[in-house]
Amino acid sequence: MIADYWSEFLLVAAAHLVAVVSPGPDFALVLRQSINHGRATAIWTSLGIGTGILFHVTYSLLGLALLIRGSGFWFDAVKYAGAIYLTWVGLNALRTPPRKVMGIDLTAAPPARRGAFLTGWLVNMLNPKAMLLFIALFSVVVSPATPLLVKTSYGLWMAFATMAWFSLVAVAFTQPKVRHAFLRSGHWFDRVTGVLFLLFAVRLVMLSLG
């Protein structure tokens, strides 16, 4: 049965791939975790982001996506919540003090696995860009006649692909030479990522007001 939906699956996978590799809050977060805290923290963050995809898939399959999109109040509420959280992450990045590059001390200890996972999950879950993507996929690309089992397999694939992509990003940016090159810029790297998070937050607010 699943073989009958390959063309639809390829459209879904292609649209998701374009969205997931484009720069956004998820990418900025994994990049910052990779440089500041190393591979393990960045990969746990990537797993959290991928799990956030399952949240979007779940409400899309339940039909809540169209309800939220159709209600200006609830859709704006999600965007404002995302903006507040991204602002909090950005301000924390801006307040990061200088670190010792050549020694072991990097000022702040890496977050626990649970904390890294939760951070990735929240950033993705509160990302209206992800919400819009899944609303579009499950209301335009995926046919209403597609069986629930097939739709679920689409969602599982997108979650797995998201985890794999950001884990690859984590591995790439935690290579010793690459990470050390970023660490040479010290806390200025955090300033840049902090500004990016704040810009993402401002963009969400502007979209709500517009």
Q: Is residue 64 part of a domain?
A: yes
The residues, any chain, with a CB within 8 Å of residue 100's CB and separated by 6 or more, are 106, 107
Q: Are 101 and 180 in contact (CB under 8 A)?
A: yes
Confirm whether 6 is domain-assigned. no
Return the DSSP state at 62.
Answer: T
186 pLDDT band (50/70/90 cuts)? low
* Chain segment 33-42, per-residue pLDDT in tens: 888 888 999 9
With beta carbons less than 8 A apart as the criterion, state whether 197 and 28 touch: yes
Q: What is the mean pLDDT of the chain?
A: 78
Is position 20 within any domain?
Answer: no
Domain hosting residue 205, numbered range: 27-209
pTM: 0.71
If one counts the domains in the chain, the total is: 1
Phi (first) and psi of residue 98, to 5 degrees: -60, 150
For residue 159, tell me if it sits in a domain: yes
